[in-house]
Amino acid sequence: MKTTRSLLVALLLSLLGSELLMAQKASELFKAQIPSDWEVLDEQYGDLNKDSISDAAIIIQEKGEGTGEYGKRRTIMVFFKGKDGGYKLVSRGETSIMGDQAGGMMGDPYQSMKIIKNVIVLDFWGGSRDKWGLTHRYRFQNGDFYLIGATNQGGDGITNYNYDYNVSTGKMILTVKDKENPKKNVNETKIVKQDPLPSLKTFKPFSTLTFDGDVSF
């Protein structure tokens, strides 16, 4: 029993070490495509095109104070990994990631990037007295990465809102709860189609998807 358990532990450690090594090598490879005055902000690995091979998504940003409208310019790059172990750049978005000063008094709005069920999930958070939180979900389809879902939630603690948009189907659910005046509560569902879907390459938070009633994603 001890021998079997030891073998299993050794195998797990070996696999973990291989994954870490691959990640390190991938980071070194990406450096060739990163300008000298830019740096890696985040990198995540996971299957993005349903071929059971771990792909990569990285976010880079300007070093120093930055030259963008809201501080540091940021770019997301997505790489597919081939069977030969090499990575190929398949998509690049230069406006999809908010700058480090776009969060208002809350500071840098960037929270995280995850790869969940073949989908890139990006989270942002910001505001002052009124807080807001954005989640964007991108999936590879029809040869590129497109926004398939978006959520905007926040408020001031008295009036709070949650806007959830299934961009793929067009279903948008708008919920507003006012603790002081329940008559102002909103619970509305509507269909707003996007054709074509917004792409990772050109999407801009709070700008690309803006609707009547101050609803934006």
Task: Examine residue 1 and state whether it is found in any structural domain, yes or no.
Answer: no
Residue 17 lies in a domain: no
Q: For residue 2, name the pLDDT band (cuts at 50, 70, 90).
A: low
Residue 5 lies in a domain: no
Query: Is 113 part of any domain?
Result: yes
Terminal Cα-to-Cα distance of the chain (whole angstroms): 55
Please, are residues 92 and 75 in contact by the beta-carbon 8 Å criterion?
yes
Show the domain range for 175.
34-216
Residue 202 lies in a domain: yes
pLDDT of residue 186: 94
| pLDDT at residue 6, as a whole number | 53
15-19, 50-54, 147-151, 202-206: which has the minimum mean pLDDT?
15-19
Instruction: Give me the helices (H) in the chain, please.
Output: 2-30
Q: Please report which confidence band the pLDDT of residue 3 belongs to, taking 50, 70 and 90 as the band edges.
A: low
Query: Is 11 within the bounds of a domain?
Result: no
The radius of gyration computed from the CA coordinates of the chain, to the nearest angstrom, equals 20
Whether residue 130 has pLDDT greater than 70: yes
pTM of the predicted model, to two decimals? 0.87
Question: Which residue type occupies 91?
Answer: S
Average pLDDT, stretch 37-44?
Answer: 93
Query: What are the distances in angstroms from CA 10 to CA 21, 22, 85?
Result: 16, 18, 24
Q: Tally the domains of the chain.
A: 1
Mean pLDDT of the chain: 89
Structure confidence at residue 13 (pLDDT): 43
Neighbouring CB atoms inside 10 A of 42's CB total: 18
Give the contacts of 58 (CB within 8 A, at least 6 positions apart): 30, 40, 42, 43, 44, 76, 77, 79
Q: Look at residue 153 and tell me if it is in a domain.
A: yes
Show the CA angle centred on residue 126, arms to residues 121 and 131, nearest 5°. Answer: 110
Report yes or no on 4 lying in a domain.
no
How many angstroms separate the CA atoms of 69 and 88, rounded? 30
